[in-house]
Amino acid sequence: MKINKKRYGMVLLGLSAILILSIGFFSVLGTADIRSIDVFRIVLSKIPIIKRHISIEDLPASHEAIIWTIRLPRVLLGVLVGASLSMAGAAFQGLFKNPMADPYVIGISSGAAFGATIAIVLGINISFLNISTISIFAFIGALGAVFIVINIARVSHKIPTTTLLLAGIATSQFLTAIMSLFMVMNSKDLAKIVYWTMGTLAGKGWKPLVSISIPSITSMIIMNFFVKDLNIMLTGEESAQSMGVDVEKVKIYVLVLGTFMVSMSVSISGIIGFVGLIIPHMVRIVLGADHKILLPASALVGGIFMIFADLVARTVISPMELPVGIITALFGGPFFLYLLRASKR
């Protein structure tokens, strides 16, 4: 491994610190005269007990409003979405032993978006355990897409890169097309469709963030229970089985957990591509293949990357905004091609 096991804790601590600083930093960028530190003061002033010791009276109320009701939920949503996509990507790449397995590339994101669209269009409402109908439908749609893609891509017992990509992209395109059709017929609001299929973190507020945070974070934690199994599976499925790993079960758990965390994100932010591809890959280059560090580190780096990309999305042609999915695709597309080229060798 690239780094010593004993340093794993340090690495994660360091990344967490960078993430927290980034949250402060990216929340204020693009707004005149608010300091990063004020973000933390505003947050602390909302926490019971601590708030007695924090005074934010020197801050204009408008600043507080911008940070608290607009920026902060947006940045935190970005962290959650980036972390979910990256961790799912890292886990899938290990599971399929395929460097191209990213939730977007293999059709999960489109499946989730498709499920969500159905829920919106049909106006169904069956919320469960506080998870919204849209999120539930996203999960169902994503599971369906995964099932289809894997069954098409599988050649006897293996899932080769080429068939995985072809099946994933074809399924994605097909679902996206139906989705756009539904939306055009139902809303005539093309901008909305574009933003949904390209992914955006804008204008969501606290409510959706709160509703997906517990399920997302829980599934990310549970995913880490399988790091040993995933590591052993990298040495080959038969070899893992002979070491006592319940390979088929682990596959199902990891697939369902990954699909779940991606669906939660997609149901709020739409389809944001390539994050789950770029981030785990970079982390693997620096930290090595051990899932024990790869999964949590990918989540943290994914969170940081996502809010960076979102900053670019909202500032690059300001006062207009781009869907953040365009930014991730601008980074991710060339990277994807580079990986494809590298894997040919």
Name the site residues for other proteins (rule: CB under 8 A): 1-2, 97, 225, 228, 231-232, 234-236, 238-239, 241-246, 288-290
Residue 36 or 231: which CB sits closer to other proteins? 231
Residue 195 or 226: the one with the smaller Cβ distance to other proteins is 226
**Complex with other proteins: residue 186 or 231, whichever CB lies closer:** 231
Smallest gap from residue 100 Cβ to other proteins (A): 14
Bridge partners (DSSP) of residue 20 are none
Residue closer to other proteins, measured from CB, 1 or 20: 1
How far apart CA 114 and CA 146 sit, in angstroms, is 13
Q: Which is nearer to other proteins, 38 or 290 (CB)?
A: 290
C-alpha span between 146 and 138 (Å, rounded): 12
Residue 106 pairs in a beta bridge with none
Q: Least Å distance between CB 119 and other proteins?
A: 35
End-to-end CA distance of the chain: 23
Residue closer to other proteins by CB (options 4, 125) is 4
Query: From CA 275, how far away is CA 281, in angstroms rounded?
Result: 10
Q: How far is the CB of 88 from other proteins (least distance, A)?
A: 19
- Minimum CB distance to other proteins, residue 182 (Å): 42
Give the integer Cα–Cα distance in Å for 77 and 209: 6
Name which of 46 and 228 has its Cβ closer to other proteins. 228
CB of residue 170 to other proteins, shortest distance in Å: 28
Nearer Cβ to other proteins, position 239 or 315? 239
User: Do 44 and 69 touch, CB atoms closer than 8 A?
Assistant: no
Provide, rounded to whole angstroms, the least separation between the CB of residue 18 and other proteins.
25
**CB within 8 A of 124, min separation 6: which ones?**
118, 133, 137
User: CA–CA separation, 1 vs 4, rounded Å?
Assistant: 7
C-beta of 257: minimal distance to other proteins in Å? 15
- CB 303 to other proteins: min, Å: 25
- 195 exposure class (CB count in 10 Å sphere: 0-12, 13-18, 19+): buried
The whole-angstrom separation of Cα 13 and Cα 297 is: 10
